[in-house]
Amino acid sequence: MRITGLEAIPVAVPDPPLRNSWGVHAPYFLRTILRLRTDEGLVGLSETYGPDIVTPLMVDRARQVVVGDEPTNVQRFAYRLRSPILAGAVEVACLDLIGRATNRRVCDILGGPVRERVAFSAYLFFKYAGDDIWGEVGSPEQMVALAGKFVDRFGFTTLKVKGGVLPPAAEVETMRLLRQRFGPDCALRLDPNAVWSVETSLKVAYELERSGVWLEYLEDPTEGIAGMARVRERITMPLATNMCVTTWEEIAPAVDARAVDVILSDHHGWGGLRACQELGRICATFHLGIGMHSNSHLGISMAAMTHLASVVPAMVVASDTHYPWLTEDVLSGDGVRFDGGALAVPPGPGLGVDLDEDRVAKYHEAFQRGVVRQRDDTAELVKRDPGWLPIKPRW
C-alpha cells in the first residue's frame, strides 16, 4: 500500500469568546484537516493546528516526504519531516490508513487498549457573552453556574478552570465555590497559564490548601522549569505543566530540577500517538503523572485523543478537551457524545470517524473568506480593551 496523495484542508470553525491570560479567543478557531490517499483507494484522516502553524510550505514538505512511500514508515517520515507537529499529523493519518487496511482500530495497532472508556475533564473558561448558548462567565458564581451546565450535560466529574483571568483571590474563591458545590469527589484543576509570579503562586497554593480545596493538580502557576521548581518545593498539591515541558529536550532538566509532578501530553505537538506512548513510559519511569492537554479541536482529534488515552497505561487522570465548546463537528453523523464525562473508544476501523464533506466545505470556505488568519488572542482582546497588555507575571 502506497500513499498517492496528501491533502491539507484549512478550516475556520466558530468559537466562543473564551478568556485566558493572553486575551480571548477570536470568533473562529483554525484547524487543518489532513487527508492521505493510497493506491488501494483508502483515505486516512488526521487533524492538526491551523494553517498559521502548519503552513502551506510545511504541507508541501509533508507531501514530498510521504507520497510514494508506505504508511508503515512513520519513523522515517518523522526524521524527514523535521517537525514533531508535521510528524504527528502524518502519523495519525497513517495509523488511520493502516487500521482501515487491516480492519483494526488505531488503539489495537498501538498495543491494544488498557481501558475502553476514556475520562475527560470539563474545560471551564471565563468568557464574554457571545453568539453561544453559554452566556457571560465573569465571576466565581457564574463559573459555578457554567460548571453545573457542563456537569449536567456531559457528566464530567473532573473540572478544569482556565485561570489567570480574574485576580488570584477571585480564582481561589472560584475553586472554593466549585469544591463546595460539587463535593469532595469532584477532581478540580486550575490553570492560570503561568501568569503568576512564584510568590503569588505560593500564596494561591497556601490559600487553597488552607481553605481545604485540594486540587488534583495546579497547572503552570508560573513560568519556566526554574520557577515551577521554586513553587513545587514548598507546596503540597501536585504541579502539572503543558508549558515548561513541551519538548523531549525539556524533560531531563525538569526531572533534574524536580519542577513538576504531571506532564500534560499532546499528540499534536509531541510527534504523534506513539511519541505520547513513549512519553507515558517516561513519566511512569520517573514517577511523574501524565495527562492530556487540549487546544480547540474537531472530532478527528477527539477520536485520536481517545485512542491514545486508551493505550497509555499511566494516563489515569481525565484528559482535557475543548470539544464541548464546539457547535458543529465536521464528522458525519451525530459526532461525539460524552457519557458520564467519558468517551468510548470508537469501534473503528482506524480512528473510527468519517467526514461530512458539506461541513468540511463550509468551514473551509469560512477560512478562505479570511474570517481569521492566525490565532492571536491578545489582538482579539485589544479590540475590546485597547490598553491591554499580556504582561507576565501579571500578579
Q: Cite the active site residues.
A: 162, 293
| Window 219 to 278, contacts with a second copy (CB under 8 A) | 248, 251-252, 255, 274-275, 277-278
Q: How far is the CB of 243 from a second copy (least distance, A)?
A: 18
In this structure, are residues 45 and 23 in contact, taking their beta carbons and an 8 Å threshold?
no
Q: How far is the CB of 285 from a second copy (least distance, A)?
A: 5
Is 19 an interacting residue with respect to a second copy (CB under 8 A)? no
Q: How far is the CB of 102 from a second copy (least distance, A)?
A: 5
Nearer to a second copy, 286 or 389 (CB): 286
**Sequence letter at residue 267:** H
Grid cell digits, residue 275:
511519541
**Sequence letter at residue 234:** R
Residue 104 CA to residue 349 CA, distance in Å, equals: 5
Q: Which residue from 11, 34, 81, 109 is in contact with a second copy, where contact means CB under 8 A?
A: 109
Q: How far is the CB of 281 from a second copy (least distance, A)?
A: 4
Polymer length of the chain = 395
Nearer to a second copy, 247 or 374 (CB): 247
Q: Which residue from 47, 96, 108, 320 is in contact with a second copy, where contact means CB under 8 A?
A: 108
Q: What is the crossing angle of helices 224-232 and 198-210, to 10°?
A: 30
Bridge partners (DSSP) of residue 265 are 292
Grid cell digits, residue 375:
490565532
Is 75 an interacting residue with respect to a second copy (CB under 8 A)? yes
Is 67 an interacting residue with respect to a second copy (CB under 8 A)? no
Q: Which residues lie closer than 8 Å to 69 by C-beta, 6 or more apart?
A: 2, 3, 76, 77
Nearer to a second copy, 87 or 195 (CB): 87
SS3 263: strand
In this structure, are residues 164 and 393 in contact, taking their beta carbons and an 8 Å threshold?
no
Residues that bind a second copy (CB under 8 A): 70, 72-76, 79, 101-102, 104, 108-109, 111-114, 248, 251-252, 255, 274-275, 277-279, 281-282, 284-287, 311, 313
